[in-house]
Structure 1
Amino acid sequence: MYTLFYYPRNASLAPHFVLEALKVPYQLELVDRKKNVQRSAQYLQLNPTGRIPTLVDDEFVLFESAAICLYLCEKHPDGHLIPAEPKQKAEFYQWLMYLTTTVQAELMIYFYPERHTQSALMYDDIVRTQQSRVQDMLTLLDRHLADKTYMVGEQFTVCDCYLFMLCIWADELAKPPLQFEHLGRYLSGISRHPAIEAVCKKEGTELGMYR
């Protein structure tokens, strides 16, 4: 059985969606960020980065959210969370890399400006700059989703899990994802996926705003 070390609304959310969508046995192990458990000696033995999530599969330990998602999908290809057709598969990787290395990275600067300057006077300026940068990215995603139900092709994939996670994080922006025409419609649809509903219920994330 898989064990996912998680904290609600953290980067563990996408792998949690994937586990639920694959309908495989798994258990959750809370890493209490309020008590800084992710920095404990015991947790650092599993994940030396001191971040969440971590997946344990028997004696195999894996960290990094996207890597966990891909590992699970490759172990369970019958779940069809990665497209099989070569061009769609390439597009899938394109968008997953964009979400992980660009959108997520820019959101992290927005949430933690203190990590990117030694002057507290710069915090507000960094936050304003990141609001603008992330809005540009959401605009790009909004255009991409203009005539789409899913991020890639005609099936629910890891990209949808990942984008929904990031949009949950971004709901506090001055212009949150739901205020974008196509992205808002897309999120409303994805919020009704059984895996999304089940995980959000388990983690205490309210989906009413997406309905």
Structure 2
Amino acid sequence: MTLTLHHAPDFASTIVRLALEELELPHTIALADIDGGALAGPEYRRVNPVGLIPALETDHGPMFETAAILLWLVDQTGRLGPSPKDPDRGAFLSWLFFTSNALHQAALAMFYPHRPAGEANTDAAQAAAQEQIIARLGLIETLIARENPRWLSADHPGVLGYYIGMLVRWLIMLPPAPYGIDLADFPHIKAVLAAHEARPAALRVAEADGLGPTPFTHPGA
């Protein structure tokens, strides 16, 4: 399998890089010159027509969208998430797409509030995003506390743990209150993320991307 990840450190492509490292899949990193406008060029748009990262080139053609790439990796390898015939598959898919469509999108609204609301309404957009983020993390906290699913636990690495870990990292790194999160409010999520960030694969990516030794639970430490 020949894989090339179009990547910029500490962007969503890091989520895919974590999965590739955990799976120990040989791959090439193609660093994306975001500031230089590479994502808008015709060559990159042939890989990802949306002009965002991540994008993963495979033997079967290019892929984009974080959740789609993660799911493809799970299905290709049978690791880091339930297989199609696994009884837990439905729940895993539900929470993977919840993370992508609800939590990730709320985080983006926090970071780029002018996109959904316009420059005149950024304060209101961030306030709404903050409420959504807290509520949605609360749902994930409850899931882990009640069910401790194998595919999102401290005992087993998974694509969903890495995905949530990077989102939490960015939210912790927001400027001080009224926005951002305190991971102490979500102890079950914190335990899962602490286990994931201590994995050898995560430590390799953290060093390569300059994320620090505890990228999910104590960014910047």
So what's the TM-score if we normalise by structure 1? Answer: 0.88
* Matches of 2:209 and 2:22, distance apart in 1: 15
Q: Which amino acid aligns with 1:182?
A: H
Can you list the C-alpha shifts for 1:121-151, whole angstroms capped at 9, x where unaligned?
3111211221121111112222222364865
Question: What is aligned with 1:25?
Answer: 26
**Helix, strand or coil: the match of 2:81?**
coil
Segment drifting more, 26-35 vs 59-68: 59-68
Q: Which amino acid aligns with 2:183?
A: L
* Matches of 1:73 and 1:10, distance apart in 2: 21
Retained in 1: the 8 A contact 2:197–2:214? no
Give the number of equivalent residue pairs: 208
CA gap of 1:104–1:65, structure 2 versus 1, over 3 A, is same
Q: Aligned Cα RMSD in Å?
A: 2.2
Q: Which amino acid aligns with 1:35?
A: G
Can you list the C-alpha shifts for 1:75-123, whole angstroms capped at 9, x where unaligned?
222xx212246321222111101101110111111111111233x2311
Retained in 2: the 8 A contact 1:53–1:64? yes
Question: What is aligned with 1:176?
Answer: 181
Where do residues 61-210 of structure 1 align in structure 2 (5 Å cutoff)? 61-77=62-78, 80-84=79-83, 86-118=86-118, 120-146=119-145, 148=148, 151-152=151-152, 155-173=156-174, 174-176=179-181, 178-180=183-185, 181-208=187-214, 210=217
In structure 2, stretches of 5+ residues that fail to align are none
Runs of 4+ aligned residues of structure 1 deviating over 6 Å after TM superposition are none
1:65 CA displacement: 1.2
* Matches of 1:193 and 1:149, distance apart in 2: 19
* Matches of 2:56 and 2:92, distance apart in 1: 22
